[in-house]
Amino acid sequence: MIFGKAINRYYLKHAPVLLLGILSLLTVDYIQLLIPELYRLVINGVNLGQVVVDGQTLPFTREVLFQHICLPMIWIVVLMVIGRFLWRVCFFGSAVNVAADLRERMFDHSRRLSQQYYQVNKVGNLMSLYTNDLDTIQECFGDG
């Protein structure tokens, strides 16, 4: 996949959550395509005094405006909020879980290293490398 076998295990481990995030992202993208259609109805209704809804020509009244434009727009907004929340939680939440798991594995590995290793390599340099690498992996996993 993207990084190699060290990171691929996390893609597989978090695959259901990531797929849910991708599905909600695609749903939000599709729903956003419906907004210009509703704007078209408003503009045609104001300019022409009538709108075409489901093949029927209707006079542009408050009832038509509310029922065929405002209510669908409210549902679109609600679905977009839920979808965007869901895909962000899925992507960024799995990135945080990956970083936490990697931190735990790195800490366990650091505990098993010998005292001689820490005499040669300074702890501050190692912590800097760990922090930078984990931040990069978390950013690539979540934002990517």
Residues composing the chain: 144
Task: Tell me whether strands 50-53 and 56-59 are parallel, antiparallel or unpaired.
Answer: antiparallel
Q: What is the pLDDT of residues 53-93, one digit of tens each?
A: 888 899 999 999 999 999 999 999 999 999 999 999 998 88
Cα–Cα distances (Å) from 102 to 8, 27, 78, in that order, read 13, 31, 36
pLDDT for res 3? 60
pLDDT class for 1, splitting at 50, 70, 90? very low
Contact 134, 103 (CB under 8 A): yes
What are the pLDDT digits (tens) for 7-34? 777 788 888 998 999 999 999 999 999 9
The two most distant CA atoms of the chain are separated, in Å, by 85
Render pLDDT for 116-127 as a digit per residue (tens, 0 to 9).
Answer: 888 888 888 888
What does the pLDDT read at residue 25? 92
Q: What percent of the chain has pLDDT over 90?
A: 41
